[in-house]
Chain A
Amino acid sequence: MSEPKIPGLLTFQLTGKIAHFKKYYSNISSLTYEVPPRTVITGILASILEMPRDTYYETFSPQQSKIGVQLLSPVRKQVSCMNYVKKEGGPTQVRLELLLPREERLRFRIYCWHENAELFDSLFHRCKNHNLGYGVYLGQRAFRGYVEDAGMIPESDIQFLTDFSGKLDSLTFEENISGLSDTVGFDINSASMPNTMRKIDVGREQDSMVNTVFEMSGKGVPGRFKEAFRVRDKTISFYTPFVS
């Protein structure tokens, strides 16, 4: 069997001042993930392509598209109390946990591939030309996101690795880890995140989850990994396995 190939990878920097990636299980308070879940990124990509709400879940399934994220700058959290109006009337107070940068801005490096070549090409050109469709948001509409430094990495610059030992620059799914190396000096974190969404009668809900592992200070995860991709000077993986 020939080595798995990716024809190309779209990459861009996703930035903003504040974010809120809501943890799916937080109800009374709104807590935030430290990195955007896969569902947030597919929502961003669908918005750029001007796909209507709730129509794109199959199009961006883990089988048809691969997405990876790298945390480029350290993050921190802070809770704010918001006054909202209840549907039933009267005020309600919601604790909203903000994701803030330790440096000037939040910065995530996004990697993305889609099997539909036409869609993938359109996505690249839109990002490149600042044509962002319905807009980009970091989880909530009060937290506008920005796309910078968009580029296409050609197949010749991408190398598939199995049983890779070393530092993984991006987030990865838990099952990809054969073993972690000495993590002293690294800030390893993990979270169970929504992986896919589905439409239900009155809205939408998460359809599947993925356990992710990532490093919080931008140093990468040290260990041994079942699969990885060497992409120029970075080694990355996706939210979901490339080889199943």
Chain B
Amino acid sequence: MANLSRNSEILFLYDAKQCNPNGDMDNENKPRMDWEAGRNLVSDVRLKRYIRDYLMQVKELPIFVRKLVDAGLRAQDSLALFKLTHLDGKKEEDLTLDDLKKVKGLEEIGDNLFDLVDIRIFGATIPIQVEEGRGASSTFTGPVQFNWGYSLNTIHELQESKTITSHLQTGKSEHGAGIGKDYRVNYSFLAFSGGINANVAQDTRMTEEDVQLLDEAIIKSIPLNRTRSKIGQTPRLYLRVEMTDNQTVLNDLREFVHLETSVPEPELRSIKECTVDATELQAYLGKFDGKIQKIHYWKDGNLSIDGLDLESAKFQELSY
């Protein structure tokens, strides 16, 4: 499989209705907010988690950054698990901690490291053992990087909290129970932007097939996450602007889309009250027309969008 040869720029819009898109642990797990600007924030880590979960659970591909079943597992045990299950053909349920500890790590895996799909896409920091006591790590920068997401609509208050009780797994205790608040946004129309750097892809061996996996994972992963606080999120628009080369980098595509609403923004509650104005985006992409190979897109049927010429030859619809 040939490594990637073209850069891409990504715009991903989704909305969150009466849920908590990304909680801040320091703040009673309230939705991350930039209160001064009135923007709901979502970290890139949250989005990457959705993508990794999809690749592992739905596509059943090996990944490096897993939700570790046992808190005692180390990062290099993730590599050991990969070696034993995918390279040696052992069953995961048959393995013990001692089996994992016997694997030396990176040196036993070698180039098979790049069979791990999230290392090809996002890169990784991998612990390596050095003779002296000090730890070290080998860092692979990922070709795919996302900005933190923020809401296009302004938000000035959260939905009134319900009080909930829950059994929380805290440390060693198996009988922990807690009382907590359940804070949610009423409505947040979130925008992520990102890029795929084909130069960097040479190092991690990301391929065209990986890009297609990424497209699918971004579009499909969020609705599959049906936990209490995450249900209510719906993808609305995905755009991947594929360049003709591995050199050109576009600006943040979010700067060129604007949300128009039929009710005042703090009162927004539904996608039916929103229209995305992409007139400036169409104009901006037009300036780079000679350097754009294709604009791959997916659009939700309930989204109203103005100004984007989706019928032009440059646009190609993704369907699943």
Cβ proximity bits A73-104 to B, threshold 8 Å, 1 near / 0 not = 00010111111111111110101000010100
Among the interface residues A17, A79, A90, A143, which one has the most CB atoms of the partner chain B within 10 A?
A17
Mark contacts of A104-122 with chain B using CB atoms, 8 A cut-off: 1 yes-contact digit, 0 otherwise. Answer: 0100000000000000000
The interface residues of chain B lying within 8 Å CB-to-CB of A87 are 74-75, 127, 135, 137
CB-defined contacts of B193 to chain A, threshold 8 Å: 144
Q: How far is the CA of A134 from the CA of B68 in the complex (A)?
A: 31
Q: Bound state CA distance, A130 and B194, in angstroms?
A: 16
- Of B34, B44, B251, the residue contacting A100 (CB under 8 A) is B34
Which of A18, A53, A130 contacts B147 (CB under 8 A)? A18
A190-234 with Cβ < 8 A to chain B = 201-203
- How large, as a class, is the contact surface on chain A? 35 or more
B248 and A130 form a contact (CB under 8 A): yes
Mark the stretch among B21-29, B224-232, B269-277 that contacts chain A: B21-29
A 140-152 to B, binary, CB cutoff 8 A, 1 in contact else 0: 0111101010000
Neighbour of B68 across the interface among A76, A85, A146, A203, CB < 8 A: A85
B283 touches A (CB below 8 Å): no
CA distance A130 to B7 in the complex (A): 12
Contacting residues, chain A, for B247 (C-beta < 8 A): 129-133
Decide if B27 touches A144 in the complex (CB within 8 Å).
no
Q: Which one of A83, A93, A133, A142 lies within 8 Å of B199 (CB-CB)?
A: A133
Question: Scoring A residues 48 to 92 as 1 if CB is less than 8 Å from chain B, else 0, what string do you get?
Answer: 001001000000000000000000000010111111111111110
Q: Are A81 and B24 touching (Cβ within 8 A)?
A: yes
Question: Which of the residues A80, A132, A148 comes within 8 Å of B24, measured between beta carbons?
Answer: A80
Size class of the B contact interface (CB-based, 8 Å): 35 or more
Closest to A84 in B: B45
* Residues of B close to A85: CB separation below 8 A: 65, 68, 75
8 Å CB contacts to A: which residues of B265-317? none
Q: Are A135 and B130 in contact (CB under 8 A)?
A: no
B36 contacts chain A at the CB level, 8 A cutoff: yes
Q: How far is the CA of A82 from the CA of B48 in the complex (A)?
A: 13
Judged by a CB distance under 8 angstroms, whether B256 is at the interface is: no
Residues in A with CB closer than 8 Å to B45 are 82-84, 142
With an 8 A cutoff between CB atoms, is A137 at the interface?
Answer: yes
How far apart are the CA atoms of A16 and B71 in the complex, in Å? 36
Once the chains are docked, how many angstroms separate the CA of A84 from the CA of B32?
16
Give the complex CA separation of A129 and B247 in angstroms: 9
A86 nearest in chain B by CB position: B75
Contact of B146 among A76, A90, A142 (CB under 8 A): A142
CB proximity to A under 8 Å, residues B218-260: 247-252, 254-255
Question: Using a CB–CB distance below 8 Å, which chain A residues touch chain B?
Answer: 16-18, 50, 53, 76, 78-91, 93, 95, 100, 102, 105, 129-137, 141-144, 146, 148, 201-203
Beyond known contacts A89-B74, A142-B146: 17 more, CB 8 A cutoff: A50-B199, A79-B26, A80-B24, A82-B45, A89-B70, A89-B73, A89-B75, A93-B26, A100-B36, A130-B249, A132-B249, A134-B197, A134-B199, A141-B142, A142-B43, A142-B148, A144-B145
